[in-house]
Structure 1
Amino acid sequence: MPLLQRGIGQRIKENRILPEDNSYYDYLRKTIRYPAQALRAQVAGKITMRLTINAAGLVSDVEETKNTIPVGATGRDEMVQQVAVVLRQLRFEPGTTASEELTITYQFL
């Protein structure tokens, strides 16, 4: 995973993606796996997570903020866990502030 440029969350929100941001999308497509039981049950939805990124560019905290997958749906917990594990592996350029927050939404279709 190449280092991501700071500000990617704002660029995603404003729909002004830079060519170098494509490595983030490639990484997600290759890494996040749809849990088999959720796929068989046709469970779908969006999971939104808030990341805290420390000055070194490492993800220091991941918190679920919104989830449209029905509570109790087959594979829901595994879907959340899958997204959290993958997002914890992201690496960003070192920053000048102690920490920065970023909100990311992943959609299982």
Structure 2
Amino acid sequence: MPKRTYVCGFDAAMAVMGGKWKGLTLFALGEGPLRFGQLRRAVPGISERILTLQLREMEASGLVHREVHDQVPPKVEYSLTEFGHSLNAALAPLGAWGEEHIDRIEALS
């Protein structure tokens, strides 16, 4: 499979974080490490299956770190990597824009 090339930086960024759930998951993890159940509660509406898939993709992309603690019962925590924090910082102005215009956006839907 040939390596993908991107048209611009926005294209590259969307390839890494594309979709509704990744942005919301990144935002939730911006507050600090969370276990799977905590993360699922922090992202209302996401199914267990989709959260698992999104976390695997974000881990493969280098956005999220998965740490398994050696204990019984097993404890797994997810946290942002430096790469993930940098993407969250880039998304912050977009979130602020959404907050500023949320009433107008809701009125359109």
Give the TM bin, normalised by the shorter chain. Answer: under 0.3
Structure number with the higher strand fraction is 1
Higher relative contact order (CA 8 A, sep 6+): 1
Structure with bigger gyration radius: 2
TM-score with structure 1 setting the length: 0.26
TM-score with structure 2 setting the length: 0.26
Structure number with the higher helix fraction is 2
